[in-house]
Amino acid sequence: MNMLEIKNLKAGIGDTEILTGLSLTVKPGEVHAIMGPNGSGKSTLAQVLAGHEDFEVYDGTVEYMGKNLLELAPEERAREGVFLGFQYPVEIPGVNNTYLLKAAVNAKRRHQGLDEIDAFDFLKIARETMEMLDMDQSFLNRGVNEGFSGGEKKRNEILQMAILEPRLAILDETDSGLDIDALKAVANGINSMRDPERSIVLVTHYQRLLDYVEPDYVHVLSQGRIARSGDKSLALQLEEKGYDWIREAASA
Amino acid sequence: MSAVGLQQELLEAAVTALPADELSAVREAAVASFAANGFPTTRHEDWKYTNLSAVAALSNTWLQNKADEPGAQAIAVDTAVTGQIDAHWITIRNGIIDPASLRKLDSLTQSGVTLARLAENVAKESIAVDDPLSAFNAALLRDGLRIRVANDSALDKPIGLLLIDDGSVAVTQIRILIEVGEHAKLRVVECSLSAGGDPQFANSVTQAVLCDNAALDFVRLQQRRKEHLSVNRFSARLERDAVLNYNNFDLGGELARNDIVADIVAAGASVNLRGLYLASGRQHIDNHTCVDHRVGPAKSTEEYRGILNGRARCVFNGKAIVHAGADGTDADQSNHNLLLSEKAEIDTKPELEIYADDVKCSHGATVGQLDKSALFYLRSRGLDKDEATQALTRAFASAILGKLAIEECHEYLATAMDEQLDALIDEE
């Protein structure tokens, strides 16, 4: 069974169509990179897959492990194993990071008919992951993303992903705004999640993340649909030539 | 709505009918001063949004039938709070001090704290009559509590005031007098509860005097039933370097009006007023605060927050008056509100009146809805909408709870607040 199967997806905000017939198939264990210039619809795709209410789906289908993803509420998608790493993680002062992590894990466990996570187990996983991400443990006791630097926010997204162990992770520009150390730490976190049972979709503007996380496939989005697909060498070509040649090829 | 006033002749007759006691002179003087104005109406600027017609109607009926008292049955109230907050508890039932609870605290005199019933001893001039409601309170006063803390004294734990309206008396008057001596410290937790499904009205007045370098921490927790109407006045006078921390949590009641007045009469004083109101259904909660900076330098902060759902209506009117010559005043006030329903309403008005030159004053008010992007973020992590709303509203309220003046109440209050938030969010 495919992890994710998107067919002819058309979506946007109000009357503005942003995705104009996008199709994509992701199999278990695969890492896909979705690249494209600003405004090509990369983030819209990520938000639509997570169920953001601001976006409307006009046409097409999205199946996640054989289920119709589009009819699930955002929280149901999360509990079923879909994770969105936000491009701009939201600061929520007063909501404790540990509280969110535990509530998220337990919401998923309840959904699976499991008991709530043991406090000791939780801390163990959290600490190990934070060590790998080179994150200070004080982050656990802070408000969600409150006062975090750009790099800290992205590490926090990876921490959440590692603890939630999704089947399908969609990481929206997780590499943007990171210095080289943070980029390596984040890439390290992503690589540690690679698994034959898990698929990862990396949405990115730049090629540099792909130096550290090697994708199986690279797709280039242009004007709301996939204009070209290939292996990792496509990313290098883009790095060299920019996006213009794709756009020209797409409109030709 | 046409205004219902309090019938003066009913009040006079009821007061005359009361047996003579220690407070007779207080009552007689107060009846006369109440007569001058009667209950305020919504034409009065300070009462623009809060209509006392229901209070007047209930009071009229009660005054008329007072001969039958005690008419209704007392109803038991869950007083678990006394086991959950570690304090020296005193029970005040329908405005009357429970003598047994007071006797248990006799030994506090050794720590410099004396507790006395006004029914046993009162100086007429010590009962303040500042406005029509405090006049009404004094006119019907049968008892009250005086707390005196001697100079340089402090207690190991807070004094707990358990105010119970048990349903047997429709209209109650509560009067608390507090005097904190020089370099002394007092902490008070006041918890107001009510029982029964019939309407009740409680009119409470607390007067505090903080001598030089005195400190008073006061946490008020109002958890009355939905049928309950209340007017609560807290006034404090602060001498040199005195510190007042006053926290008010309104979690219950149908109508609750608070007037908090702090009078800074000497330099170095500090006033911190914080409040949280959670209102749903048709609850009406009105907070009026006023800090008088008569002398500087001195500092005051006011921070009130509210979460409203249903058709709740709340009012915040925070005033700081910086009198001429009160240079070095630092006054800050803020009011933030979260409206979860389109039919909820908040009227907020922070006010500054400044007659001095060298001052630092600021104020701000916000009214908003839940942050949609935060809501989506939490839902994308698997929290359902109610859970996410709970987390966000609790976070909003924690700005007040996090600065609680008395640590001993924290756990109880956090739980009470969570329960109230759950109920409030469920309503739709």
End-to-end CA distance of chain B: 27
Q: How confident is the model at residue A246 (pLDDT cuts 50, 70, 90)?
A: confident
| CB neighbour list of residue A175: distance below 8 Å, 6 or more residues apart | A154, A183, A186, A204, A206, A208, A209
Under DSSP, the state recorded for B56 is H
Q: How far is B366 from chain A (nearest CA, A)?
A: 17
Which chain B residues have any C-beta within 8 angstroms of a chain A C-beta?
371, 373-374, 376-385, 387-388, 391-392, 394-396, 398-399
Sketch the domain layout of chain B as residue ranges: 74-369
| CB neighbour list of residue B356: distance below 8 Å, 6 or more residues apart | B293, B296, B322, B323, B324, B325, B326, B327, B329
A86/B374 CB distance under 8 A: no
The residue of chain B nearest to residue A93, with distances taken between CA atoms, is: B395
Closest CA to A1 of A45, A61, A63, A51: A63
B395/A89 CB distance under 8 A: no
H or E segment and range at residue A6: strand A4-13
Confidence at residue B416, expressed as pLDDT on a 0 to 100 scale: 95
The residue of chain B nearest to residue A165, with distances taken between CA atoms, is: B381
A90/B373 CB distance under 8 A: yes
A50/B380 CB distance under 8 A: yes
Which chain A residues have any C-beta within 8 angstroms of a chain B C-beta?
50-53, 73-75, 77-79, 84, 86, 89-90, 92-95, 99-100, 103-104, 107-108, 111, 143-144, 160, 164
More confident residue, B91 or B196: B91
Confidence at residue B277, expressed as pLDDT on a 0 to 100 scale: 98
Q: How confident is the model at residue A176 (pLDDT cuts 50, 70, 90)?
A: confident
| CB neighbour list of residue B55: distance below 8 Å, 6 or more residues apart | B39, B201, B229, B231, B255
**B169-173 mean pLDDT:** 93
Cα-Cα-Cα-Cα torsion A104, A105, A110, A114, nearest 10 degrees, comes to 180
The residue of chain B nearest to residue A80, with distances taken between CA atoms, is: B382
Q: How confident is the model at residue B76 (pLDDT cuts 50, 70, 90)?
A: confident
More confident residue, A248 or A47: A47
For residue range B81-118, list pLDDT tens digits in order: 999 999 999 999 999 999 999 999 999 999 999 999 99
Nearest CB among B379, B392, B395 relative to A74 is that of B379
For residue range B403-427, list pLDDT tens digits in order: 999 999 999 999 999 999 999 998 7
Three-state DSSP state, B174: strand
Two tokens at B174?
């509560």
Give the DSSP per-residue string, A171-233.
Answer: EESTTTT--HHHHHHHHHHHHHT-BTTBEEEEEES-SGGGGTS--SEEEEEETTEEEEEESHH
Confidence at residue B385, expressed as pLDDT on a 0 to 100 scale: 93
Query: Which of B338, B370, B373, B378 would best serve as a mutation to test chain A binding (most A beta carbons within 10 A)?
Result: B378
More confident residue, B98 or B167: B98
Confidence at residue A27, expressed as pLDDT on a 0 to 100 scale: 97
Q: How far is A12 from chain B (nearest CA, A)?
A: 17
Closest CA to A43 of A167, A149, A170: A170
Chain B CB contacts of A75 under 8 Å are: 379-385, 388
Angle between helices A150-164 and A97-111 (to 10 degrees): 30
B396/A94 CB distance under 8 A: yes
Chain B CB contacts of A117 under 8 Å are: none
pTM, rounded to two decimals: 0.89
| CB neighbour list of residue B394: distance below 8 Å, 6 or more residues apart | A94, A95, B417, B418, B421
B381/A164 CB distance under 8 A: yes
Percent of chain B topping pLDDT 70 = 98
8 Å CB contact between B11 and B17: no
**A106-116 mean pLDDT:** 95
Q: How confident is the model at residue A238 (pLDDT cuts 50, 70, 90)?
A: confident
Confidence at residue B312, expressed as pLDDT on a 0 to 100 scale: 97
A100/B391 CB distance under 8 A: yes
Chain A CB contacts of B390 under 8 Å are: none
B395/A95 CB distance under 8 A: yes
Sketch the domain layout of chain A as residue ranges: 4-251
Three-state DSSP state, A41: coil
Q: How confident is the model at residue B71 (pLDDT cuts 50, 70, 90)?
A: low
Chain A CB contacts of B374 under 8 Å are: 90, 92
- Number of residues in chain B: 428
Residues forming a β-bridge with B350: B318
Q: Which amino acid is at B238?
A: L
The residue of chain B nearest to residue A106, with distances taken between CA atoms, is: B382
Chain B CB contacts of A95 under 8 Å are: 378, 391-392, 394-395
For residue range B246-282, list pLDDT tens digits in order: 999 999 999 999 999 999 999 999 999 999 999 999 9
Confidence at residue B150, expressed as pLDDT on a 0 to 100 scale: 98
CATH class given for the domain over A4-251:
alpha beta
Phi first, then psi: give them for residue B269, nearest 5 degrees.
-75, 155
Q: What is the ipTM of this complex?
A: 0.96
pLDDT higher than threshold 60 for residue B1: no
8 Å CB contact between B184 and B155: no
8 Å CB contact between B222 and B256: yes
Burial class (CB within 10 angstroms; exposed 0-12, middle 13-18, buried 19+) of A134: middle
Closest CA to B292 of B235, B249, B350, B364: B235
For residue range B306-318, list pLDDT tens digits in order: 999 999 999 999 9
8 Å CB contact between B201 and B174: no
Residue A136's CB is within 10 A of a number of other CB atoms, namely 10
Confidence at residue B3, expressed as pLDDT on a 0 to 100 scale: 67
Write a three-state SS string for A98-165: HHHHHHHHHHHHHHCCCCCCCHHHHHHHHHHHHHHCCCCHHHHHCEECCCCCHHHHHHHHHHHHHHHC
Q: How far is A251 from chain B (nearest CA, A)?
A: 35
